[in-house]
């Protein structure tokens, strides 16, 4: 496959800037078709992004003979269905995170990818961002010695839409998105820890709804054990006062620690003894473009993507363990 001709299923908000333009800005990559159920919105998207074809039916896009790779950007409840249909049609898939509603669905998707001989990638794009590559470089260089522990804290307020049953987004509806914002936000952190520190072997946790704005969890705590022996803790809360907002990851080693963020991209801090060194990185205009570049390279046989179905499924497994998730 020398030229990747993409089709997008679910060309919504995430495709406007984070991912969509990357498909037609990368060399040897073209965006040839897009799909969304709302005809007016998908026609507008196609016009603004100069895409020749648009569909309101997913199978029409999957069966388009000019499309040879598919990006699935729908809510998680349809990830498994559309991924399997695309793979069975003989087309590699790049699927948004979380990979599916639960670990078992991920395994089903991987099984079809293996049987069809098609590649499956997951949109954990932080694995290719300069910010996290710098963190990995500092870890691998041994600046903090042997890694012992990691602590995650992500705290933010509820929005006004969250508090009104008439305006609540799909991300707090269990049958569509899983267990709330934890399933939307936490997988980015859990996946990047897998990338930085190796596979998480086991995890346990508590997931509760304490503020009462919706039915899914708004507060989650976790304890994690990595295969390397590293132990970790995590706390996520999505209904705190705005003054309490926090986005921190702290990795402690025998010789120092690293402090960074999952979402805010503040300076990376390396603390060794009494010395603190700060590192800055520049984020790409389209945040998913570096990872999409690796997918295009792998499909062309000239590189390898660091985020595939197997790695994506590992993160879903850990989320299931932490929340005792039984969706599906």
CATH number at residue 42: 3.40.50.720
Residue-by-residue pLDDT tens, the chain, 328 positions = 899 999 999 999 999 999 999 999 999 999 999 999 999 999 999 999 999 999 999 999 999 999 999 999 999 999 999 999 999 999 999 999 999 999 999 999 999 999 999 999 999 999 999 999 999 999 999 999 999 999 999 999 999 999 999 999 999 999 999 999 999 999 999 999 999 999 999 999 999 999 999 999 999 999 999 999 999 999 999 999 999 999 999 999 999 999 999 999 999 999 999 999 999 999 999 999 999 999 999 999 999 999 999 999 999 999 999 998 644 3
SS3 state of residue 70: strand
* Residue 38 belongs to some domain of the structure: yes
Closest CA to 322 of 228, 194, 174, 190: 190
* Residue 313 belongs to some domain of the structure: no
CB-CB contact of 249 with 261 (8 Å)? yes
Report the C-alpha gap between 67 and 21 in whole angstroms: 17
Same domain, 180 and 48: no
> Are β-strands 69-72 and 4-9 bridged in parallel, bridged antiparallel, or unpaired?
parallel
* Residue 319 belongs to some domain of the structure: no
Model's pTM, two decimal places?
0.96
Same domain, 184 and 300: no
CA distances 116 to 95, 272, 295, Å, are 16, 50, 18
* Residue 323 belongs to some domain of the structure: no
Domain that holds residue 226: 130-283
CB-CB contact of 105 with 80 (8 Å)? yes
Same domain, 108 and 169: no
The count of structural domains within the chain is: 2
* Residue 196 belongs to some domain of the structure: yes
CB-CB contact of 102 with 320 (8 Å)? yes
| pLDDT value of position 325 | 67
Same domain, 292 and 224: no
Same domain, 206 and 259: yes
Question: What is the H or E stretch that residue 220 is in?
Answer: strand 219-226
Same domain, 151 and 226: yes
CATH number at residue 269: 3.30.360.10
- CB count in 10 Å sphere of residue 24: 14
Secondary structure percentages of the chain, helix, strand, coil, to 5: 40, 25, 35
């Amino acid at each position: 496959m020398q030229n990747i001709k993409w089709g997008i299923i679910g060309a919504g908000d995430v495709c406007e800037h984070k991912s969509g333009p990357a498909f037609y800005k990368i060399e040897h990559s073209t965006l040839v078709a897009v799909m969304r159920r709302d005809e007016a919105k998908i026609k507008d998207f196609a016009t603004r992004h100069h895409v020749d074809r648009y569909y309101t039916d997913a199978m029409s896009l999957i069966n388009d003979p000019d499309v040879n790779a598919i990006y699935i950007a729908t809510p998680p409840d349809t990830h498994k269905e559309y991924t399997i249909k695309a793979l069975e049609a003989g087309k590699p898939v790049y699927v948004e995170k979380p990979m599916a509603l639960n670990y078992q669905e991920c395994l089903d998707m991987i099984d079809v990818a293996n049987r069809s001989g098609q590649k499956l990638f997951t949109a954990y794009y932080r694995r290719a961002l300069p910010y996290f590559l710098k963190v990995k470089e500092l870890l691998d260089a041994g600046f903090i010695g042997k890694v012992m522990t990691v602590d995650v804290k992500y705290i933010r307020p509820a929005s006004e839409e969250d508090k009104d049953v008439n305006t609540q987004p799909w991300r707090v509806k269990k049958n569509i998105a899983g267990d709330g914002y934890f399933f939307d936000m936490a997988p980015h952190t859990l996946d990047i820890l897998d990338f930085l520190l190796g596979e998480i072997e086991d995890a346990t946790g508590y997931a509760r709804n304490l503020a009462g704005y919706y039915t899914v969890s708004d507060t989650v705590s976790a304890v994690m054990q990595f295969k390397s022996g590293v132990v970790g803790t995590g706390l996520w809360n999505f209904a705190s006062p705005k003054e309490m907002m926090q986005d921190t990851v702290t990795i402690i080693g025998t010789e120092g620690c690293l402090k960074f963020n999952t979402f805010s991209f503040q300076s990376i801090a390396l603390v060794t003894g009494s010395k603190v060194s700060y590192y800055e990185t520049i984020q790409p205009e389209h945040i998913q473009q570096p990872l999409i570049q690796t997918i295009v390279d792998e499909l062309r046989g000239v590189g390898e993507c660091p985020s595939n179905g197997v790695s994506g499924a590992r993160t879903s497994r850990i989320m299931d363990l932490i929340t005792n998730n039984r969706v599906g």
